[in-house]
Amino acid sequence: MPPKEIQALALKYLRDVLEDDEFQRFAPIGPDVQLRTRNDGRQSHVVILNRPKFSTDTLEKRKKQLAENNTSSIEVQVRRYLKKAEIKEDELNPLSHAQLCREFLKADIKHLEIAEQRSKGNYDFEDDYFNRLKSLGYLQGERPAASQCQEVTPVNPISPGPSEPMLSEVIDDYVAEKINDGKWTVSSQQDFTPILRLFQEVIGDRPVDRINHEAVREFKRFTKESCPKNRNKLKAYRNKSVAILKTQKVPDKDRLSDKSINFYFSTVSTCLNWIKDQGYKLPDGLPRILSHQVKKLPHEQRDFFTQENLKTIFNAPLYQEDKHNKSYQFWVPLIGLYSGMRLDEISQLDLKDIRQENGVWVFDVNDKGNKHLKNPSSRRLIPIHDFLLNDLNLVGYRDYLAKLGKVKVFPELKQNGRGRFGAAVSRWFNERLLMTLGLKDEGKLSFHSFRHTFINTLKLLDTEERKVSQVVGHKKESSMTYDRYGKPYPPEIIYRDVIQMLDYGVDLSHLSRSKFVRRN
């Protein structure tokens, strides 16, 4: 069943339930209604004052069901409308049926949101909604009265030809190509796809040749002014539709950061360029609309830890009194500090990734097995700092785990649905430890600040940038000669010129007494 037919059927359901709702408001029937004979002999309805008010319970329940992709409450209506449309349910493929149920559930939520506003005497809410549909071409002519919602029609009354598929279909093709070509990991798919679906939701599902400058400008406005960060986590915005969010005032503290806005814009721009490369008719210059002036310089986007910050962290009772419950709470921050590795790179380490190369102990950062890397440049060898190797006996800890039959350096960390091993570490460090230590409000401090601290310290030591880039897994823009014919620096050179130079000026000797440090 094509997406445009699914949308049309869901809109028909919405118009029907809204018409029934309005009819009940001007011609109510039920035990809470009594008839009165007027002077002219006609009867009129009198609604008793204690008639039950609109309840938000059903609305919240439907939103929860949508978040959990539980469409059981709407399947009876779906079957009824399929029958009315003379479409046999068993002829639908599972994906189309699931999408149809989900669209009906969203339509039911929209009906309940409008009904809630009607119960307050507010019809501006639905006016805004239907005017929005009209501006996108979903409505022909003027927006109908509340009792005439049957005038809602699909975007394009003429079925799109093969040259003009719907945006939703093209996004499906784009995502499939990225996955099939191996350009997207599971995590990439879960990062990019919701942004593309948000773009679709904001401008409306339409034939791709109807994506115009105004539609892209509308997405830009929404992203910068009305799209909250952590949209599905913050209670104030959870499960709110785009139409609802546009009516709310999103405070600055809840808005997307400059970095996130640019990520959203680059994701959509890349997709728009791909659509045009496929030969579809798009106006020139659409991606150029999605530009965003960053308010801070790159080095100001996230803070590094100062020497005092490091003392606060590693002299906290958690470290001084060795109160860690999990091994990752002890080891992961220290490995981050002395290697510059990303959180997920550390969290997914296998025991065999701590090994020797040319007689030098290294972290072997790779994407073997169930591990994932950000990009090809992330595959690298990082010599292990003497403090980890000698003072904390990291290799001894590795050998201890090997004797227990473990495979991972941090066996308590489990891979989540996004393929990440570091989610639990991120929550513990960013949301609990930094908050407890009073460091959460000091700029943009997070676990990633260890990486910034590592790089900034080496910069102040005037360390050769190409060598630092190799250690942290950055792609260094340089000459074709070095990139094509030059090999990476061997571990012994990186150890001598980079790792051995690190000294943060903080006494961490007390950490060698931890229960996680194996003594020979």
508/393 same-domain check: yes
Picking from 183-192, 415-424, 467-476, which range would have the lowest pLDDT averaged per residue? Answer: 183-192
Q: Is 458 within a domain?
A: yes
Same domain, 396 and 445: yes
227 and 320, same domain (yes or no):
no
The whole domain housing 393 covers: 307-513
Residue 519 lies in a domain: no
Q: How confident is the model at residue 447 (pLDDT cuts 50, 70, 90)?
A: very high
Of the residues 240, 256, 289, the one at which a domain ends: 289
Of 238, 263, 289, the one marking the end of a domain is: 289
| Domain membership flag for residue 302 | no
Range 503-507 contact pairs with CB under 8 angstroms and sequence separation of 24 or more: 504/307, 504/310, 504/337, 504/453, 504/457, 505/307, 506/307, 506/310, 506/311, 506/314
Separation between Cα atoms, residue 129 and residue 237, nearest integer Å? 18
pLDDT for residue 151 is more than 60: no
Q: What is the pLDDT of residue 7?
A: 76
Altogether, the residues listed in the chain come to a count of 520
Both 142 and 176 in one domain: the answer is no
What would the pLDDT profile of 168-209 be if each residue is shown by its tens digit? 989 999 998 888 887 887 778 888 999 999 999 899 888 998
Q: In what order do the strands lie in the sheet with 380-383?
A: 354-357, 360-365, 380-383
Q: pTM to 2 decimals?
A: 0.55
What percentage of the chain carries pLDDT values higher than 90?
Answer: 42
Residue 481 has pLDDT above 70, yes or no: no
Give 444's pLDDT tier (boundaries 50, 70, 90). confident
Predicted local confidence at residue 27, as pLDDT: 52
Question: Tokens 């002395």 label which residue?
Answer: 338
Alpha carbon distances (Å) from 9 to 73, 135, 171, 495:
17, 20, 21, 65
| Same domain? 321 vs 427 | yes
SS3 sequence of 131-179: HHHHHCCCECCCCCCHHHHHHECCCCCCCCCCCCCEHHHHHHHHHHHHH
pLDDT tops 70 at residue 302: no
Q: Are residues 266 and 391 in the same domain?
A: no
CATH number of the domain to which 328 belongs: 1.10.443
CB atoms near residue 450 (< 10 Å): 28
- 203 CB burial (10 A radius; 0-12, 13-18, 19+): buried
Domain's final residue, options 258, 289, 320: 289
Domain count, the chain: 3
Q: Which of 334, 337, 367 is nearest to 350 (CA)?
A: 367
- Return the pLDDT at 321: 93
pLDDT of res. 217: 93
Are residues 340 and 478 part of one domain?
Answer: yes
Measured CA distances, 238 to 2, 59, 126, 218, 381 (Å): 29, 13, 20, 22, 42
Say yes or no to pLDDT of 143 above 80. no
- Determine the pLDDT at residue 247: 78
Q: Please determine, for residue 44, whether its predicted confidence score (pLDDT) is greater than 90.
A: no
* Residue 232, CA distances (Å) to 101, 198, 301 in order: 21, 12, 24
User: How much is the pLDDT for 443?
Assistant: 58
**Banded pLDDT at 134 (limits 50, 70, 90):** low
- What is the rounded average pLDDT of the residues 290-309? 72
Average pLDDT value for residue range 120-140? 64
How far from 474 is each of 199, 238, 379, 465, 489, CA to CA, in Å?
30, 36, 10, 10, 14
User: What are the tens digits of pLDDT across the range 337-386?
Assistant: 999 999 999 999 999 999 999 999 999 999 999 898 888 889 999 999 99
Residue 144: which pLDDT band, with cuts at 50, 70 and 90? very low
Looking at per-residue confidence, does 4 or 225 come out higher?
225
Contacts of 495 (CB under 8 A, 6+ apart): 360, 383
In this structure, which amino acid lies at residue 117?
Q
Q: Are residues 319 and 382 in the same domain?
A: yes
Lowest pLDDT segment from 74-88, 130-144, 161-175, 437-451: 130-144
Q: What is the DSSP string of 400-416?
A: HHHHTT--BSSTT----
